[in-house]
Amino acid sequence: MKTAFGTGRLLIRIDDICQRSNWRVLRQLESIMVEEGVRPIVAIVPKNMDDSLVIEPPNPTYWEDLSRWQTLGYGMALHGYHHTFAQDGGGIMGRSSRGEFTGLPESVQVDMLHHGIDELESHRIHPMVWVAPRHAFDWTTVAALSRVGIHCISDGFFLAPRNGPCGSLWIPQQTSRIGRPCFGVVTVCLHVNRWGTDEILQFRKDLSNFRQYLISLDDITSVAETWPTWNARQIERGDIVNIALRTRQVLSRVLKGRRAKHLKHLS
């Protein structure tokens, strides 16, 4: 399959950025990315209330660091509001049983988005992309995002970006491993808070190996009109990527069950 770029491309996304993230790791990744000329999407939690994202004492230069990333051309993304999971349902993607936004009325979702955007904008950080915690958001979220002026959505189990309802541009997110993209646009989502030396070394190696495939959010949005348009049903259904992911999920459940049975038999 041909994309607007003529061949497969790779976009890096780093999730769960907040004041108490593992900034020792993030700084090392930043210097590697500067060397390799990589401009990732960084998913920022505006007001983190999720204890699992608390790794270090608050970073005293947090806002300066984010501002530098913005200047470097990183794609600044809104990663929910509190990164908590009080709502039932995984929404459009159906990959999670709970979410922060799913099922809430549009006016409530608009308010939450506004609060998050205001927090970032008060420090001159301009979020351009939506990254839903645990892939959980619904069509009401998409409408609410359009009302607050965020049109890019980093999610979807398909091969390449698609234009969607309410003026949205969907940049698919399919994997957590950096590798050679055969076709389409592959977004690699990284959770780096618990990374050590080995993972950082591997990251450097991967970026250097696959440098020629790397693109940024700007590269994708600058050719937004060239991506096909899909309706809501097509986005929910996805394409071969969705089939592959669902098959893998089912098979790993089956294998897990078989292994448990085998162990029980042995004991």
**Exposure class string for 191-222: b at 16+ Cβ within 10 A, else e:** ebbebeeeebeebbebbeebeebbbbbebbbe
> CA-to-CA distance for 83 and 156, rounded, in angstroms?
19
Based on CB atoms, which residue is closest to Zn ion, 8 or 40?
A: 40
Q: Tell me how many helices (H) and strands (E) the chain has.
A: 8, 10
Smallest separation (angstroms) from Zn ion to the CB of 100? 10
Stretch that binds Zn ion, among 9-17, 54-62, 106-114, 163-171 (CB under 5 A): 9-17
Based on CB atoms, which residue is closest to Zn ion, 16 or 206?
A: 16
Site for Zn ion in 85-144 (CB under 5 A): 133
Smallest separation (angstroms) from Zn ion to the CB of 57? 20
Smallest separation (angstroms) from Zn ion to the CB of 53? 7
Among 16, 100, 138, 155, binds Zn ion (CB under 5 A): 16
Question: Are 200 and 29 within 8 A, CB to CB?
Answer: yes
> Per rule CB under 5 A, is residue 8 in the interface with Zn ion?
no
Smallest separation (angstroms) from Zn ion to the CB of 174? 16
CA angle 75, 176, 233 (to 5 degrees): 75
Beta-ladder partners of 44: 17, 78
- Chain residues binding Zn ion by CB under 5 A are 15-16, 133
